[in-house]
Structure 1
């Protein structure tokens, strides 16, 4: 398996949102964008199911060194090898990938987010940073497009956290603001062990509303001149909003169910976005 094939298996499997969002992109750009998101996935998975914090930190330290090797030497991991092949061409800043690892590590050390500001810092590192890198790959003429990418990455990351809140709670982690959860009288145990109490639906509806606001803000920031180039990002946004629509009527279903769209629906959304914007 080549590094590019490994990255595709890791981050853009057939049927995934990223697969369809990048489906119509030029192959060289698709490989570069896939490598970015595979790096994010590898960083997160390095610690996701690790019960020993010291082992998790050691894994992230290894990834820090592997990132250095991707830019300066001979990386061992296929994701780092794929990055090494595209980093120079797209002038990726090494610091951006270190920032992604910083975000993963910050969530690991805190085991949650005490408030929205802490959650925002995490999303900016792990969601916005790769989205801005991907926007560089897709291409732009107006620098305001990078602000669009930054805010869209935040919206997409927060959407993922909302959809994953139940599974994360069962792993002993809280992916949404603790103070807001406390305001609704909800504990992490109640997220992990439904049936859901009354306040959970209201709490999750607030998070959905927040995601909606972020999508609206980001989409309003995209200059018209770059709309065509940024169609992969727009397709991801459309799929993310469609996922929110799936839970809007019953937000508490995210506590027990894996929410997803059918591959056909994702394909249709991506095709419509690519052809009609």
Structure 2
């Protein structure tokens, strides 16, 4: 009951206009992007609310594109069908660069981007990262996994950072610090999703690390907990946490104000790691999440921290 009351109050606080389309002719595709990427109560919703109002529709469209690609890669069981869908997205991104997109997400990007051609190479790199999900489902070691992490995580964070920056100098500097933060966020996201990913046939824990802790892929797929699994998860959680903190510390002081969305996402991932730890790493049979009111508070506080 208390949390219910808090949540109703939270909907009115902080006193900022909600994410919404910026013009009447943008209603359809902006609303589509909101529902795809940032439904109310989601971590993305609260992280995007921390961005400058003028940048929120663009960033929402970018997160919606990532969600479209992620759904294609992770929720398509037939690799042939998945590759066909990603090939369609490849053509759609080319259409975006050419100025004639057809999908609501790319239409939103075209509406809000100053120069679609400028980000086209990064959008291609993001799609290529998700294509790796149809090439391999397990990775021998961390360097092998890092190719996937950099494509899906580092590239995306760099895009968010560049599109959040106010000046050309800040946009150029973002490439230096944003990719490591995106990579760290991917490491953090793997931890609570390890059971769900395994059930979908994908394991993002390197094989050599499974062997080091005497945990098998079958243990993950069949939801078998053990002392060895706990030790493995302690290692994964500690590495992810350290990587996120190091990447946050690397954000230049002048850029911190404009990078509130990424900073909020990082704080939310760190809080979720803490929650997984408190729950004894019971992530194989359930999904551990934060409540909406906690997400709101964590995101708001992180975005305003110096």
TM-score (norm 2): 0.85
Cα shift at 1:254: 1.2
1:19 equivalent to 2:45? Answer yes
Match of 1:79 among 89, 102, 105: 105
Cα shift at 1:250: 4.3
The equivalent of 2:271 in structure 1 is 242
Query: Contact 1:234 / 1:273 at 8 angstroms: preserved in 2?
Result: yes
Query: Contact 2:74 / 2:133 at 8 angstroms: preserved in 1?
Result: no
- In the superposition, relative to structure 1, how do residues 254 and 177 fare at CA in structure 2: closer, same or farther (>3 Å)? same
Give ranges in structure 1 of 5+ residues lacking alignment: none
Cα shift at 1:164: 0.9
Alignment map for 1:1-277 (pairs within 5 Å): 2-89=28-115, 92-139=118-165, 141-142=169-170, 143-277=172-306
Give RMSD over aligned pairs: 1.8
Q: How many equivalent pairs are there?
A: 277
Cα shift at 1:68: 0.5
- Which string of whole-angstrom CA distances, capped at 9 and with x for unpartnered residues, describes residues 171-194 of structure 1? 121122122112222222211222
- In the superposition, relative to structure 1, how do residues 159 and 58 fare at CA in structure 2: closer, same or farther (>3 Å)? same
Q: Which has the higher helix share?
A: 1
Structure number with greater Rg is 2
- Which string of whole-angstrom CA distances, capped at 9 and with x for unpartnered residues, describes residues 110-164 of structure 1? 1222211122111111111111111112215555443322111111122112211
More deviation, 64-73/43-52: 43-52
Partner Cα separation in structure 1 for residue 50 and residue 199 of structure 2: 37
Give ranges in structure 2 of 5+ residues lacking alignment: 1-26
Partner Cα separation in structure 1 for residue 195 and residue 240 of structure 2: 17
- In the superposition, relative to structure 1, how do residues 75 and 90 fare at CA in structure 2: closer, same or farther (>3 Å)? closer
- Which string of whole-angstrom CA distances, capped at 9 and with x for unpartnered residues, describes residues 10-29 of structure 1? 11111111111121333330
Partner Cα separation in structure 2 for residue 251 and residue 203 of structure 1: 12
Determine helix, strand or coil for the equivalent of 1:88.
Answer: coil
More deviation, 166-175/138-147: 138-147
- In the superposition, relative to structure 1, how do residues 162 and 85 fare at CA in structure 2: closer, same or farther (>3 Å)? same
Partner Cα separation in structure 2 for residue 146 and residue 82 of structure 1: 24
TM-score (norm 1): 0.93
Query: Contact 1:90 / 1:137 at 8 angstroms: preserved in 2?
Result: no
